[in-house]
Structure formats: C-alpha cells, structure tokens
Amino acid sequence: MDRPLLNRRLAEFGTTIFAEMSALAVRTGSINLGQGFPDADGPEEVREAAVRALRDGRGNQYPPGPGIPELRTAVAAHQQRFYGRLGLSYDPDTEVLITAGATEALAASLLALLEPGDEVIALEPYYDSYAAGIALAGGRRVPVTLRADPESGSYRLDLDELRDAITDKTRLILLNTPHNPTGTVLSRDELAEIARLACERDLLVLTDEVYEHLVFEGEHLPLASFPGMRERTVTIGSAGKTFSFTGWKVGWVTATAELVSAVRSAKQFLTYVSAGPFQYAVAEALALPDSYFTELRDDLRTKRDILATGLTDAGFQVFRPSGTYFITTDIRPLGHDDGFAFCRTLPERAGVVAIPNAVFYDHKDQGAPYVRFAFCKRTDVLQEAADRLKRL
Ligand SMILES: *Cc1c(COP(=O)(O)O)cnc(C)c1O
C-alpha cells in the first residue's frame, strides 16, 4: 500500500513524548516527574461512593446522554458555590453536559463548533490534545505565544499579539487557565481584555479550567463570568485533577443551552456516555466541604515549594507557577539549551524524568531551553528527586 494508513489530519501527531519518557523512567528506575498524574488516589469516601454505586446497580447500564441528573445538579451547585458571587450560574437540565474527561469535552466542542478552515487561536505552549482536536475538526491553529519573563520568573500573555492574531477566519479562542505547562493564572485584566476582544470580534471561547482549584497565588476567575461572555463561552471542568482520580475520566461542559446542545451533538457519537458508576461518585465529590478544596490546594502548594527549592538548588532557573501541577524551568544556567537532548539523558545522569516544553509549541525554538517537572507526587518522592537532581 503506497498510501499512508494514518490520515493527513493526524499524520503530524506521532506517539506522544509521554510514552517515550515513561518507558525511559521504567528502564532506568527513574522518578517519573514527566506525566501529570498524582501518585496517591483521591478521597477514600469518594472511592467508596463509586463502589456503592457499582454494587447498588447505579450506572452499570447506559446513563442518560447528558449525564446523570445527580451529577449535572452537583456541577451546577459547584459553579454556584464557587462562582455565584461573580454572577455565574447554570441550569443543570439544559446547561451542563457530562463528558469522558476534559479531553472528550475539548474534542467534542471543537468538532461541534468548527467548520473546516476555521482558525482557532490557542495559547502556546499548549496541552497536547488541543492541536490534535483542532486538526480532527479541520480547523487551523494559530498559536499566540506566552513569553517567559526571567525578570518576574513568570510567563505573560502579550495582548497586542492576541489582538493581531484575530482575522476574519477566526472562529474560536481556546484558552487554558490555570495554564499547563507554564503554571500561569491569567489575571483579571488579561481576562477582561480577552473578553472584550471576543465580544468585539464576535468569537466563541472554549476555556479549559481543569486546574480551577489549584491556584496558589491570586484567584481563578472563570472567563464566562465576564461581561458578554456567558453566551459565547464553553467552560470545561474535570474531576481528574480536582479529586485525584485521573483514571475515571469524568469531565463536564457548562455553557448556554444552545452551546451545550451543539457539543452534545458531537459527543453522542464519540462515546455516547461514559463512567456510569463514577458519575455518582463524582456527584458526591463535588459536594465535599470547602475544606477539601482548600487542603488540596495547600498540599500542592507545599509540594510546589519543595520541588521549586530542589530545582533552584540544582541550578535550574525556575518559573514559579501560580497554579497547576507543573513547574517549568530554564536549563540554560546548567549549560544546556536543548530540552529534548536534556530530557533524554536526564534519567541516566540524575534518575529523574521530565518533559521538554518544546513538545507543547509550534514554534519549537521558543520552547527549546525549557523543561517541565510535575510536582503532584508524594513529598518523600519530591524530596528524593530534589536530592538526585543535585548530582547535575
Ligand atoms: C489533564 C488535562 C486535561 C485532561 O483532563 P481529563 O479530564 O483527564 O481528560 C485537559 N486539559 C489540561 C490542561 C490538562 O492538564
């Protein structure tokens, strides 16, 4: 067969770097700070809720297409509890859709809302499924690069660059705050300007807020709460990161009834439904008291600080994240400038696995000297990683 098996839309997306690096971690006995999943499961009572649902025969057969009413109600109540003060609330019957994780929510939204040739602006570096999702939908991605600012030790969005990236073909802005991999939490002013541009140019916004509860400095503001945004914003959340059950793949979309209905049209032919018993458990998880969310955040802030100190002591320049599971570092102070080469030899040299940020860029040169470490791991593991990195 002379025709390639993989279609042209997906040809540029080989196997992910995560598979290569995780295999390297196993082969070298390294601590894997590559992929962002916690090494301790979420709350016992939430696990028990899943077991109870399974035993009681709740969710073992196809749940309703939009998700079970208990979970849709819990998602709406969660939005009300945390963002009601900002004037944001959703009708559980028509404005909430349960998905197979944020990943399906993203794919279904892009497949539903894009026509071939539509341009999608995404903040670069971006989560790896964005590029593939846009490609599957026949869209064209237009990256706007978050710039590393060594002075402040953080990343900033250039609003002029964002404004200039919008054309007559732009359909949608794909946003992610708190931002993976840089740990940036977009500020009120930045979000207000994005909202203003979206309204002025009549754009839809798809906003990935899976790290909404992992903000260590500042606060998370949903873009949908800004003036004029509720009717044009699809907000994505997930139980994976908030409750440390990344294997359950329970996510959700909140948006107007019209947008939810559009996204559901695509979702029904991807998975139709998913995670029956887990939906019941996540409904209980979303009702956990405020203290659960505060403790999760405080615990991860401590972990961030342990790893940030270790990386600084080892000679990396550290961009201190305001949110998420990840720390981005600059390897140039260690005498390196190629993150790929660095990450391929790091396991042999220091027994730690990390991810080169270049994989999250279209402009590979922009990401070349940066490397990402995950800190959603037990403190003893992070301490051991910090000790090992001192060998460098
Ligand atoms: C982990 C992650 C996701 C995927 O979430 P799932 O619920 O596991 O599908 C989506 N977006 C970002 C930014 C992530 O880090």
Cβ count near 27 (within 10 Å):
10
Q: Is 17 a residue whose pLDDT tops 90?
A: no
Q: Give yes or no for residue 153 having a pLDDT over 90.
A: no
Say if CB 190 and CB 223 are below 8 A apart: no
Lowest mean pLDDT among 13-27, 60-74, 148-162, 274-288: 13-27
Q: What is the pLDDT of residue 16?
A: 80
Q: Strands, DSSP E only, in 274-350?
A: 317-319, 326-330
pTM, two decimals, is: 0.96
Mean local confidence (pLDDT), 63-69: 97
Nearest CA owner, ligand 1 atom 10: 102
Q: Cβ atoms within 10 A of the Cβ of 10, count?
A: 11
Pick from 75, 124, 126, 127 the residue to mutate for probing ligand 1's pocket: most ligand atoms within 8 Å of its CB: 127
188-201 pLDDT per residue, tens? 999 999 999 999 99
Could you tell me the two tokens for 12? Answer: 């540029």
Share of the chain above pLDDT 90, in %: 91
Distance, in Å, from the CA atom of 292 to the CA atom of 290, rounded to the nearest integer, reads 5
From residue 146, how far is each of 102, 119, 176, 200, 360 by CA, in Å? Answer: 22, 19, 12, 22, 11
**pLDDT value at 369 more than 80:** yes
Q: Give the 3-state secondary structure of residue 274.
A: coil
102 C-beta closer than 6 A to ligand 1: yes
The DSSP annotation for 50-102 comes to HHHHHHTTSSSS---TT--HHHHHHHHHHHHHHHGGGT----TTTSEEEESHH
Residues with Cβ < 8 Å from 42, sequence gap 6 or more?
Answer: 243, 244, 245, 285
CA of 206 to the centre of ligand 1 (A): 14
- Average pLDDT of 361-372? 94
Distance, CA 36 to ligand 1 centroid (Å)? 9
Residue owning tokens 């999608």? 120
Q: What is the pLDDT of residue 62?
A: 97
Structure tokens at 134: 């846009």
Please tell me the distance between residue 104's alpha carbon and the centre of ligand 1 in angstroms. 9
Interstrand relation of 96-99 and 251-254 (parallel, antiparallel or unpaired): antiparallel
246 CB under 6 A from ligand 1? yes
| 295 Cα–ligand 1 center, Å | 21
Give the pLDDT confidence score for residue 300 in this predicted structure. 97
Predicted local distance difference test score (pLDDT) of residue 313: 96
Q: Which atom of ligand 1 is nearest to the CA of 324?
A: 15
Burial 195-226 (b: 16+ CB within 10 A, else e): bbbbbeeebbbbbbbbbbbbbbeeebbbbbbb
**Centre of ligand 1 from the C-alpha of residue 392, in Å:** 31
Residue (of 101, 168, 169, 161) closest to 139 by Cα position: 169
* Residue 55: per-residue pLDDT: 98
Task: Tell me which residue of 47, 208, 32, 58 sits closest to 126, measured CA to CA.
Answer: 208
The radius of gyration of the chain's CA atoms, rounded to the nearest angstrom, is 21
User: For atom 5 of ligand 1, which residue has the closest CA?
Assistant: 102
Residue 35, ligand 1, Cβ within 6 A: no
Q: 239 CA distance to ligand 1 centroid (A)?
A: 9
Res. 285 pLDDT band, cuts 50 70 90: very high
Edge-to-edge order in the sheet of strand 326-330: 317-319, 326-330, 370-374, 355-356
What average pLDDT does this structure show over 291-316?
A: 97
Q: Is the CB of 252 under 6 A from ligand 1?
A: no
So what's the pLDDT on residue 262?
Answer: 98
Mean pLDDT, the chain, rounded, equals 96
Residue 15 has pLDDT above 90, yes or no: no
Task: Summarize the confidence of residues 258-263 as an average pLDDT.
Answer: 98
Average of per-residue pLDDT across 70-86: 97
The pair of structure tokens assigned to 271 is: 């998975």
Residue of 211, 208, 240, 213 whose CA lies nearest to 224: 208
Q: What is the pLDDT of residue 12?
A: 87
Q: How many residues does the chain have?
A: 392
Torsion of CA 135, 137, 143, 146, to 10 degrees: -100
Tokens of 159: 């609003």
The amino acid at 307: L
Q: Would strands 355-356 and 352-353 be described as parallel, antiparallel, or unpaired?
A: unpaired
Q: Quick one: what percent of the chain has pLDDT higher than 70?
A: 100
| Average pLDDT score over residue span 237-247 | 97
pLDDT value at residue 75: 98
- Give per-residue pLDDT as tens, 97-150: 999 999 999 999 999 999 999 999 999 999 989 999 999 999 999 999 999 988
